[in-house]
Structure 1
Amino acid sequence: MFTEYDPEAGALTRELRDHFDAFVAGEWDAARLKAHQTRRLRQVVTYVRAKSPFYRERLADLTDDEVSALGIDDLRILPFTTKEDLRKAQLDILSLPVSQAWIFYETTGTTGVATPCPRTNSDSIHNNSVLTAYYRDVLARYGHHQVIGVSGPTELHATGDTFGDVCRNLGHGVAKMWPHSPLVGFDRALELMRSLPLTGLFCTPGMAMSLAQKAVAAGFDPKRDFSLDILMLTGELMSPSLLRNIGQVWGAEARNCLYASQEASVLAAATADGALRTAPLINHYEVIEPEGTEPVAPDADGVRCGELVVTNLYTGAKPLIRYRTGDLVRMTDPDPEATVPAPALEAVGRVRDRLRLNGRLVDGYDLEDLLLRRFRGCLDYQITVDQDALGTDILSLTLQAGPEGDHSDALEDAVEDCRRELDTPLTVTSGSPGPITSTGAMVSWKAARVVDLRAESSIENTSAERIAAARAR
């Protein structure tokens, strides 16, 4: 409704709706997209140089002539922006004062100083237009008038507002519920899920498993006693094996629905063909060497593997230039069958979340996918890394069984998979890892899911333990 009181926002909404409809329909060729990205890049660089104290200093050596001639292929003349830059700059990174934003968000601050992430109408409209266009067909297969729950980490996070607005755009009812809130709690959340009933749920994988654990403890069967058709999961590492496991627990489709951050907003979203696809109308993407600065070349399969760097192509409260996300990704150009003609993206974990096992560097995504490959219907899991007397790295997987119970038939295959692919011994035990595994979205996958007995405790470990202790009370 606010757009009726803000004609500029209303006009932008209509313009972006038309652009995304045409883009999804395949009406943007490569030349049109490159021209759009080039024009928007020049506008954004001009904008931040004029309005952001941080970028005014960072880009001081860039001349007006260089900006006016700047092309997408010239991005390497611009410096990177890092998470540490955001922590140090604080409000100086902004291109507008908070008073000109419509809402204030910030990062959780669990592993460092929280950074401000206010959003203007322009920020929200650009990002929510992507999700509305991409999610339309994903959700439509389950009906056009659903009741969808949204569970996010904190009140200062964009989750509730973003998904609530997108569901409203698509004609779905929304229930915002925060099970970790003392005024809601898991019992009330489960009651709402059953009574409304919820047909969809936006949450983290950890929350989906926590809700299932609480449901089973209360005597419910997640498949039989709830009406979920689809789980739209985000905020944590998600391998295909984990998604299949969560889907089986709830008897619903489990989708990786979003790759985003508070700092850089929407970077990729679920599409009807099952892929997570980038949003090239509002962002430009680079994939670089994780320990360096050079772009990576596609491998033999056309996949670029490395750290994601993103440049926002819209003006608002805090557009970022060449932002090093710290996340490892695999990016693949779209094939003719893609439902949205944008590269597919797999987020395979943070650079610092990789593990070295018997001389081999392993991404969290691949490790999780391998260890859970043979198991279904688990309510939780945790990985322990240790060494034997000979100095060989060894793994232990703790699984919390669901209503379907025993996984003994899969043990031998799981152990053989690990030996063959990682040359690492594996043991599998039953048990409950406890509340620490629910902290992944707040801290990191590694702190939540991995107990590495070979390494000293880190700030991430300490933060995860603190949050878990509070949740256990």
Structure 2
Amino acid sequence: MFTVFNEELDRIARDIRDRHFAYMRKETSEAELAAWQLEQFRRSVAYVKENSPFYRRHLADVAPESITALTPEQLATVPFTTKDDLRSAFEDMLSQPFNKAWIFYETTGTTGRSTPCPRDNIDSLNNNTTLTVYYDTILRQYGDHLIVGVSGPTELHAFGDTFGEVCRNLGHAVAKMWPHSPMVGYDRALKTLRELPANALFSTPGMALTLAKKARAAGLDPRRDFGLDVIMCTGELASPSLLENVGAVWGARAYNALYGSQESSVMGAATADGLLRTAPLLNVYEVIDPVTGQAVEPGADGVRHGELVLTALYQGSKPLIRYRTGDLVRLTPALPGAVVPAPTLEVLGRTRDVMVIGGRRISGYDLEDLLLTHPRGYVDYQIVIDAADGRDTLTLRLETPADDPEVRVDEQAVARDCRERLGVEVSFEYGPLGPITTTGAMVSWKAARVEDRRDGSIDRERAAALALTAGRAQ
């Protein structure tokens, strides 16, 4: 309700809302959307050149008025912004000073220097409006007044504030719970979820599984003793197979709810059909070859596969111009009749996390989906890559509750799929996996979920993940 104290922000909020409503009702034509995106792209370039010390230097040779279309050829005249730029520029990247933000966040800093991510009211109004209209298509299926648990990574993360406000916009009650906090812990978080009882949960996929594991250890059945209907997962890689298992463990529907980051805010969000979609009212999306930096041509099916690049179409604290996310995606054209007329987005993991197994390249997303297609009912997992006699091998480690009759692991089916896809053998191990698997949102999916023993070394991210577990409430 802060906007009622500022008439200009109140007007802006209503304009953003109405634009989203028109888009959701399919009242905005493709030509109208393209014209608006071009205008906003040029406005963002002009805005950062005027206000950001970094972009004043970085875009010195770019004239916003010279950009007359958002074609690959014209976009290529604007230089990329990279993660290294964010780390080196630090506060020079900002287009507004800290005291003009309403809140301050920062990146985790587990593997390098934390970078500042303040948000002003323009940032939050744009991003939270998109999430509100997208998530309404999901949450309304379960009732008008839900109780929603929100379990995020840290207090310096946007997780709790963002989802809290979105749920408030939709009329749902929120309980913020931080299970890794020593003041909360898992027992108290589970008690809150159970006694409210909560209908919905926002968390990482790993946190949802860990909460189920802790519930089992306390003698509780997540399906019988809790009331969750929907789990909104974000913060980590989440293949369809993993999401189906999260849902099966809790007796709920699990969604890959959000693709975003502290630096770039919302890049994709889920709708009722379970698909992750782009947000064309927030960003311009490009897909490039991660090696050459050139635009990727769509295949015969219209799908583009490569590294995602985006430009913010709103002018807030830290809009990024042609930001190389470092993430591999599959971008599919909008489907006719979809609830949101936006392209669908599959996030395949980071470009540097693509693995070569059995001589074949595979993304983290596709490897996880391959190995977890058949197992159901597990509460934790990890992948070990090794080599024997010059041949790669896989081990799938699963932690399964001994007292759950619905646990099933079709080892033969998993082994067959791995031979067909990668030409390698897979073995299975069962038992507790330790706390490193809970660090995916804070370090990386690969550090948390994959142990690659082939060169005998421990990389920097896995070392950071191991160190992080020492200071967490378990």
Q: TM-score range by the shorter chain?
A: over 0.9
In 1, the alpha carbon distance for the partners of 2:338 and 2:273 equals 6
Query: In structure 1, the residue corresponding to 2:470 is in which secondary structure?
Result: helix
In 1, the alpha carbon distance for the partners of 2:335 and 2:372 equals 29
Q: Is the 8 A contact 1:45 1:67 kept in 2?
A: no
Structure 1 stretch 169-178 or stretch 66-75: which is displaced more? 66-75
Give how far 1:21 is off: 0.8
Q: Is the 8 A contact 2:377 2:406 kept in 1?
A: no
Q: Is the 8 A contact 1:435 1:472 kept in 2?
A: no
Two-structure CA RMSD over aligned residues (Å) = 1.2
Partner of 1:216: 216
Give how far 1:68 is off: 5.2
In 2, the alpha carbon distance for the partners of 1:11 and 1:450 equals 49
In 1, the alpha carbon distance for the partners of 2:312 and 2:8 equals 20
Give how far 1:133 is off: 0.7
Is structure 2 residue 7 aligned with structure 1 residue 4? no
Partner of 1:397: 396
Query: In structure 2, the residue corresponding to 1:470 is in which secondary structure?
Result: coil
Give how far 1:300 is off: 2.8
Partner of 2:133: 133
Q: How does 1:79-118 map to 2 (within 5 A)?
A: 79-118=79-118
Name the aligned partner's letter for residue 53 of structure 1.
Answer: P
In 1, the alpha carbon distance for the partners of 2:302 and 2:424 equals 29
Relative distance call for 1:136 and 1:407 in structure 2 (3 A) is closer
Q: How does 1:362-373 map to 2 (within 5 A)?
A: 362-373=362-373
Give how far 1:290 is off: 1.6
In 2, the alpha carbon distance for the partners of 1:88 and 1:408 equals 49
Give how far 1:205 is off: 0.5
Q: Is the 8 A contact 2:374 2:409 kept in 1?
A: no
Relative distance call for 1:33 and 1:324 in structure 2 (3 A) is same
Relative distance call for 1:409 and 1:230 in structure 2 (3 A) is closer
Q: How does 1:188-337 map to 2 (within 5 A)?
A: 188-337=188-337
In 2, the alpha carbon distance for the partners of 1:397 and 1:16 equals 47
Name the aligned partner's letter for residue 459 of structure 1.
Answer: R
Give how far 1:70 is off: 4.0
Relative distance call for 1:168 and 1:332 in structure 2 (3 A) is same
Query: In structure 1, the residue corresponding to 2:62 is in which secondary structure?
Result: coil
Partner of 1:30: 30
In 1, the alpha carbon distance for the partners of 2:392 and 2:70 equals 45
**Unaligned segments of structure 2, at least 5 residues:** none
Is structure 2 residue 184 aligned with structure 1 residue 184? yes
Query: In structure 2, the residue corresponding to 1:26 is in which secondary structure?
Result: coil
The Cα offsets for residues 242-277 of structure 1, whole Å up to 9 and x where unpaired, read as 000010000000000000010000011011122111
Q: How does 1:397-416 map to 2 (within 5 A)?
A: 397-402=396-401, 403-404=403-404, 410-416=410-416
Give how far 1:458 is off: 1.4
The Cα offsets for residues 400-458 of structure 1, whole Å up to 9 and x where unpaired, read as 11343586761111111111111011001111211100000001111000010013221
In 2, the alpha carbon distance for the partners of 1:77 and 1:410 equals 52
Partner of 1:154: 154
Query: In structure 2, the residue corresponding to 1:224 is in which secondary structure?
Result: helix
The Cα offsets for residues 149-172 of structure 1, whole Å up to 9 and x where unpaired, read as 111111110000000000000000
In 1, the alpha carbon distance for the partners of 2:467 and 2:10 equals 44
Q: Is the 8 A contact 1:287 1:304 kept in 2?
A: yes
Q: Is the 8 A contact 1:41 1:71 kept in 2?
A: no
Give how far 1:7 is off: 1.4
In 1, the alpha carbon distance for the partners of 2:303 and 2:45 equals 29
Name the aligned partner's letter for residue 196 of structure 1.
Answer: L
Relative distance call for 1:472 and 1:131 in structure 2 (3 A) is closer
The Cα offsets for residues 121-178 of structure 1, whole Å up to 9 and x where unpaired, read as 0000000010001011200000000100111111110000000000000000000110
In 1, the alpha carbon distance for the partners of 2:250 and 2:109 equals 32
Name the aligned partner's letter for residue 377 of structure 1.
Answer: G
Give how far 1:281 is off: 1.0
Partner of 1:72: 70
TM-score for both structures, normalised by structure 1: 0.97
In 1, the alpha carbon distance for the partners of 2:367 and 2:302 equals 22
Q: Is the 8 A contact 2:126 2:314 kept in 1?
A: yes
Name the aligned partner's letter for residue 367 of structure 1.
Answer: L
**Unaligned segments of structure 1, at least 5 residues:** none
Name the aligned partner's letter for residue 217 of structure 2.
Answer: A
Give how far 1:469 is off: 2.6
Name the aligned partner's letter for residue 435 of structure 1.
Answer: P
Name the aligned partner's letter for residue 365 of structure 1.
Answer: Y
Q: Is the 8 A contact 1:17 1:129 kept in 2?
A: yes
The Cα offsets for residues 206-231 of structure 1, whole Å up to 9 and x where unpaired, read as 10011011000000000000000000
In 1, the alpha carbon distance for the partners of 2:172 and 2:115 equals 32
In 1, the alpha carbon distance for the partners of 2:409 and 2:176 equals 40
Give how far 1:366 is off: 0.6
Q: Is the 8 A contact 2:181 2:472 kept in 1?
A: no
In 2, the alpha carbon distance for the partners of 1:429 and 1:462 equals 23
Relative distance call for 1:182 and 1:332 in structure 2 (3 A) is same
Give how far 1:337 is off: 2.4
Query: In structure 2, the residue corresponding to 1:254 is in which secondary structure?
Result: strand
The sequence identity of aligned pairs, in percent, is 57
Query: In structure 2, the residue corresponding to 1:257 is in which secondary structure?
Result: strand
Relative distance call for 1:84 and 1:409 in structure 2 (3 A) is closer
Give how far 1:67 is off: 3.0
Query: In structure 2, the residue corresponding to 1:259 is in which secondary structure?
Result: strand
**Runs of 4+ residues over 4 Å off in structure 1:** 405-409
Q: Is the 8 A contact 1:435 1:471 kept in 2?
A: no
Give how far 1:335 is off: 1.5
In 2, the alpha carbon distance for the partners of 1:276 and 1:392 equals 36
Partner of 1:465: 466
The Cα offsets for residues 317-354 of structure 1, whole Å up to 9 and x where unpaired, read as 00000000000000001121211000000001011111
